[in-house]
Amino acid sequence: MADKTIELEKVVVKFAGDSGDGMQLTGTQFTETSALFGNDVATFPDFPAEIRAPQGTVAGVSGFQVHIGRIEINTPGDAADVLIAMNPAALKSNIPQLEKGKTIIVDIDTFKRKDFEKAKFDGNPLEDGTLNDFKIIEAPISSITRESLKDMGMDNKSMMRCKNMFALGMVYWMFSKPLDNTIEFLNRKFKNKQLIIDANIKTLKAGYHFAETIEALPSAYSVLPADLKKGTYRSITGNQATAWGFLAASENSGRPLFLGSYPITPASDVLHELSKHKHFGVTSFQAEDEIAGVSSALGASYAGNLAITTTSGPGLALKSEAIGLAVMTELPLVVVDIQRGGPSTGLPTKTEQSDLLQALYGRNGESPTIVIAGSTPSNCFDYAYQAAKLAMEHVTPVILLTDGYIANGAEPWKIPQINELAEIKPNFAIEGTENWQPYARDERKLAREWAIPGMKGLEHRIGGLEKEDITGNVCYLPDNHEKMCNIRQEKVNRVSEFIPEQEIYGDDSGDLLIVGWGGTYGHLYSAVKKMRENGKSISLAHFNYINPLPKNTQAVFSKFKKVLVCELNLGQFSNYLQSKFPDIYFEKYNKVQGFPFAVHELITEFESKI
């Protein structure tokens, strides 16, 4: 038993092993248990792109990092305080990020000569001084798992599938977490496979008791519940939140939800989630390719549905012609682009922000769309809802950007009441209107009316050829084409009157303004917050509305001596802002490594600017 329990403000735990070791499930269970206990949490799943990377190699390492705290948590942490390395490859891939003095738990049964060779170690890292600066706990995870299950009639492969539960049990003891939630999960997940349930529970308890008795762990730790706003919470990923935001928009607008998509990493989970909700009137269509996905959604929009299509960067490129058709026909459509490393197939399981210019300009002709971005896993709900609202009220396509980091990451989400959400009023035509014209417009929004097929007296032509103003007839006249291009652009510009003004974290003037957008919010906020606590004149303007920008954007920038734009690309938002505000000089800080910013590297950069 532990001599004492030490209370911690926060802790970062990372589970790492082979892609078949169940690290994603293990990390998810630790996250959910911590969230149920009341901790604030943030996660970062990190898995290989290769479907069958060679076992025991660095290329095949899968990791899941969890940051829990009794204080506000906005990032999954720069590096782990406790690393659970299920093999040498997992150790090697994570050593560069670890700080001296941190704890590493290794499955000693996997630390053999052949394992070192696969991981490209020159020798045994446990003996050659590589790990001298760390606290090492050698746990015979594989052998005790095998011993615990030897009488259950399972083959060796099946027994080894349970060893992730042993590691989870150890960590539960270390951080004073109960086993109940995971036991309930196992009973639900394998409800018709009692042997698998029994084996995993037995191994989970074996890991817990092992940690309780070994002398290498003289203390247990406790991270008390966080002081969160009152309400009902659940742990949610960005992809789940995105899907649920659309469900809420469908319910509040009275429009049935149609999703037409082709599976692509990291967007497929939105399709998976929405396909579960037929009872909410959702129609989900897994198309044969990206073009069919967006085209089916556009057809559903014409028929009066809240129409969604989801993808990542390569798929957005394929959807570009159909998005242009949505611009020309002026139909509501939401395109969700969950960004990943590129170009081409690029880094399918890594995060990046390099689709911004594609979202803004990646279509032929003058083809403006509304572009907005989620910035945390939980607020993907809010911006999915807002994307649907803008599309249906302004009758135009909207591109919603998230990224692999916030799509797969999780955090607590306070579940809103449906009456707390903004009203959605689709801009419908009214059946029976005399002398109705398909391209007559609302004076404030310049939005045309959304007329659904079958509405008597509202028959009209639709298609990709240029429309005559008001009538919608095909028209090739030069002056009309220029007029329609200007109208479509102005329609998007006027959205700035219907979105919030840009907020600032910190003072509204000073030495340095940090500018970000999308999924970099947590890291930028954490760095700026820490520097402000140290008396630095620094503030943060983080953008969710990209096109159009909030109407007070220039006023925000003009009050600071320096403006530094930070993004996970080579400067796309910075260049966009420079084109909009040529009298302001935008400095850049960029990272394109497939990983989020680290708070410590941001602080180093910011300090050099003040």
Same domain, 69 and 188: yes
pLDDT tens column, 432-465 = 889 999 999 999 999 999 999 999 999 998 999 9
pLDDT exceeds cutoff 70 at 216: no
Among 170, 189, 223, identify where a domain stops: 223
Amino acid letter, residue 588: K
pLDDT at 1: 43
Burial state string for 71-84 with b = 16 or more CB within 10 A and e = fewer than 16 = eebbbbbbbbbbbb
User: Which residues 6+ apart lie within 8 Å of 127 measured at CB?
Assistant: none
Domain annotation covers residue 427? no
Exposed/middle/buried for 423, CB within 10 Å: 0-12, 13-18, 19+? exposed
- What is the span of the domain harbouring residue 589? 510-609
Same domain, 132 and 86: yes
Are both 180 and 292 inside the same structural domain?
A: no
Pair 98, 182 in one domain: yes
Residues 400 and 380: their CA atoms lie apart, in Å, by 9
Asked if residue 244 and residue 219 are part of one domain, the reply reads no
CATH number of domain containing 112: 3.40.920.10
Whole-number percent of the chain with pLDDT over 70: 99
- pTM for the complete prediction? 0.94
pLDDT score for 4: 65
Q: Is residue 498 part of a domain?
A: no
For residue range 387-409, list pLDDT tens digits in order: 999 999 999 999 999 999 999 99
Question: Cβ contacts of residue 401 below 8 Å, gap of 6+?
Answer: 337, 339, 353, 355, 356, 359, 371, 372, 373, 374, 518, 546
112: phi then psi, degrees, rounded to nearest 5: -115, 170
- Give the amino acid at 176: S
Domain termination residue (choose one: 419, 434, 468) = 419
307-316 pLDDT, tens digit per residue, is 999 999 999 9
Is 292 inside any structural domain? Answer: yes
The pLDDT tens digits of the residues spanning 553-595 come to 999 999 999 999 999 999 999 999 999 999 999 999 999 999 9
Cα distance between the two ends of the chain: 50
Instruction: Flag whether 334 is in a domain.
Output: yes
- pLDDT of 219 higher than 80: no
* Cα gap 326→332, rounded to integer Å: 7
**Residue 435 placed within a domain:** no
Q: Does 321 have pLDDT greater than 90?
A: yes
Q: Please report which helix (H) or strand (E) contains residue 486, including its range.
A: helix 478-493
Whose CA is closest to 265, among 407, 378, 399? Answer: 407
Residues 135 and 209 in one domain: yes
SS3 22: coil
- Sequence-distant (6+) residues with CB within 8 A of 518 are 353, 373, 374, 375, 401, 402, 403, 406, 543, 544, 567
Burial class (CB in 10 A: 0-12, 13-18, 19+), 585: exposed
Cα 529 from Cα 599, distance rounded (Å): 11
Looking at residues 266-277, what average pLDDT do you find?
97
478 vs 48: which has the higher pLDDT: 478
User: Residue 334's pLDDT band (boundaries 50, 70, 90)?
Assistant: very high
The CATH number covering residue 514 comes to 3.40.50.920
Is the same domain home to 32 and 168? yes
10 shares its domain with 157: yes
- Same domain for 191 and 249: no
DSSP 548: S
**Distance from C-alpha of 38 to C-alpha of 71, rounded to nearest angstrom:** 11
Token pair, residue 229, equals 């706003």
Q: What angle do CA 60, 25, 409 make, to 5 degrees?
A: 85
**Can you list the positions of beta strands (E) in 265-381?**
283-286, 306-311, 333-339, 370-373
Higher model confidence: residue 218 or residue 187? 187
Strand-pairing partners, residue 398, are 334, 370
- Count of domains for the chain: 3
Domain presence at residue 524: yes
Buried b (16+ CB within 10 A) or exposed e, 452-461: eeebeebebe
Report yes or no: 249 and 306 within 8 Å, Cβ to Cβ: yes
474 within a domain of the structure (yes/no) = no
Closest CA to 66 of 39, 90, 41, 101: 41
Cis peptide before 266 (omega within 30 of 0): yes
> Among the three residues 174, 190, 223, which one is the final residue of a domain in this structure?
223
- Average pLDDT along the chain: 95
Domain identity same for 204 and 240: no
Kindly state whether residues 193 and 244 are assigned to the same domain.
no
Query: What is the spatial distance between Cα 372 and Cα 400, in angstroms, rounded to a whole number?
Result: 5
Q: Answer yes or no: do 372 and 258 share one domain.
A: yes
pLDDT at 179: 97
Note if the bond before 548 is cis, omega within 30 degrees.
yes
Structure letter (DSSP) for residue 228: P
Position 3 pLDDT exceeds 80: no
CB 202 within 8 A of CB 64: no
528 part of a folded domain:
yes
